[in-house]
């Protein structure tokens, strides 16, 4: 059934401008949106080192786009749900074409801005990221994996993990990745402010630039939030401003919502009220349980949190 709506092709052995027309009918044009496409660092390096101009890059290389699915708008959300764990994203559109129009349209400014941004990234030191956890740390793992691949160009590395609980699985994940950890038990401090001050000291001792909250189950003091303002990110399991605080998945199901998702946002003094950086939605089925929805949202979080970190680390967004 889906085959009526979905068509895919792999971009092997050729560039965007050469390869796409081979599989697209004459009366169709494709627009690639290079505000949404991540040019892989190796292609940015190649262009700079080989002094290759933008059009030649597009003609000769796929710039990191390995597989394109063309899907009918009616099934877009279902397909996006299915491909999220493989890093799929909407990267363009197909429209009717007259014979005078190009087969593939790439906005010159979008492409050059994108490739120059990645080239700049290759020359600056990576931002040092500290991650605060209280539990399983699957988002921590997603951040570690994404910052260690050569293809994402995140411009940051995870160098320190703090947990307020002993023996949580996130600590084992950090150790397995060779990342130093520290357990700071909030019960050992008289006040929230003292606990937070001790976290700040630990983070500063590791020269941390950006702090990511990945399932950190403590409300932070105003002092801590102000200290790390613009450098403090949280991931929340709902499409904020809907359902801040606890039990977001349960609330979405009880409200009979048909979609939910996750939000990565800057942290401010409120609970889940800071400026939103990125969101990703997931569908809620009629038989959805809190557990199944939580799993779906986790997949979306693992996709979107590293991208939000990249946006902050590379200065695409700031407060």
215 in contact with ligand GRF (CB under 6 A): yes
Calpha distance 117→315 (Å, rounded): 10
| Residues paired with residue 235 on neighbouring β-strands, in sequence order | 264
CB of 254 to ligand GRF, least distance (A): 18
Q: Could you say whether residue 214 binds ligand GRF (CB under 6 A)?
A: yes
Q: Which residues of 263-274 are buried (b: 16+ CB within 10 A; e: fewer)?
A: bbbbbbeeebeb
Helix (H), strand (E) at residue 285: none
Residues contacting ligand GRF: total by CB under 6 A: 13
Specify whether 265 is catalytic.
no
Tokens of 34: 């290079």
Contact flag: residue 220 with ligand GRF (CB under 6 A): no
| Interface with ligand GRF, residue 261, by CB under 6 A | no
d(CA 92, CA 47): 23
Interaction of residue 136 with ligand GRF, rule CB under 6 A: yes
Among 86, 105, 186, 236, the one annotated catalytic: 236
Question: CA-CA distances (angstroms) from residue 55 to 12, 26, 263, 266?
Answer: 18, 21, 36, 37
Task: Indicate whether 235 belongs to the interface with ligand GRF (CB under 6 A).
Answer: yes
**Centroid of chain to Cα 61:** 24
Quote the CA–CA distance of 234 and 215 in Å, as a whole number.
Answer: 8
Which of the stretches 7-15, 78-86, 148-156, 235-243 binds ligand GRF when contact is defined by CB under 6 A? 235-243
Query: Shortest Cβ distance from residue 142 to ligand GRF (Å)?
Result: 8
Stretch that binds ligand GRF, among 97-105, 135-143, 176-184, 239-247 (CB under 6 A): 135-143
Place of tokens 């892989």: 40
Taking the least distance from each CB to ligand GRF, the nearer of 28 and 183 is 183
Q: How far is the CB of 136 from ligand GRF (least distance, A)?
A: 4
Task: Tell me which residues touch ligand GRF (CB under 6 A).
Answer: 135-139, 214-215, 235-237, 262, 298, 301
Catalytic annotation, residues: 236
């Amino acid at each position: 059934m889906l085959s009526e709506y979905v068509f895919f092709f792999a971009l092997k052995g050729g560039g965007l401008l050469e390869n796409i027309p081979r599989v697209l009918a004459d009366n169709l044009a494709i627009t690639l949106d290079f505000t949404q496409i991540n040019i892989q660092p190796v292609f940015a390096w190649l262009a700079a080192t080989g002094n290759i101009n933008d059009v030649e890059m597009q003609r000769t290389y796929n710039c990191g786009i390995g597989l394109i699915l063309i899907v009918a708008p009616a099934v877009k959300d279902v397909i996006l749900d299915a491909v999220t764990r493989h890093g799929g994203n909407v990267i363009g559109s197909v429209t009717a074409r007259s014979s005078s129009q190009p087969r593939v349209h790439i906005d010159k400014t979008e492409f050059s801005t994108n490739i120059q941004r990645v080239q700049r990234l290759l020359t600056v030191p990576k931002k040092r990221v500290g991650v605060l956890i209280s539990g399983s740390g699957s988002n921590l793992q997603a951040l570690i994996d994404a910052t260690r691949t050569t293809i994402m160009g995140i411009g940051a590395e995870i160098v320190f993990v703090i947990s307020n609980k002993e023996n949580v699985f996130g600590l084992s994940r950090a150790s397995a990745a060779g990342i130093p950890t520290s357990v700071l038990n909030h019960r050992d401090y008289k006040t929230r402010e003292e606990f937070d001050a001790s976290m700040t000291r630990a983070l500063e001792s590791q020269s941390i630039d950006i702090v990511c909250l990945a399932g950190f189950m403590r409300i932070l003091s105003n002092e801590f939030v102000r200290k790390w303002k613009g450098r403090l990110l949280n991931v929340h399991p709902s499409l904020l401003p809907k359902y801040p605080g606890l039990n977001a998945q349960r609330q979405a199901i009880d409200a009979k919502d048909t979609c939910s998702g996750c939000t990565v946002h800057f942290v401010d003094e409120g609970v889940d009220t800071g400026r939103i950086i990125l969101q990703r939605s997931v569908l809620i089925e009629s038989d959805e349980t809190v557990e199944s929805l939580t799993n779906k949202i986790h997949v979306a979080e693992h996709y979107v949190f590293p991208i939000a970190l990249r946006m902050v680390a590379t200065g695409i967004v700031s407060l």
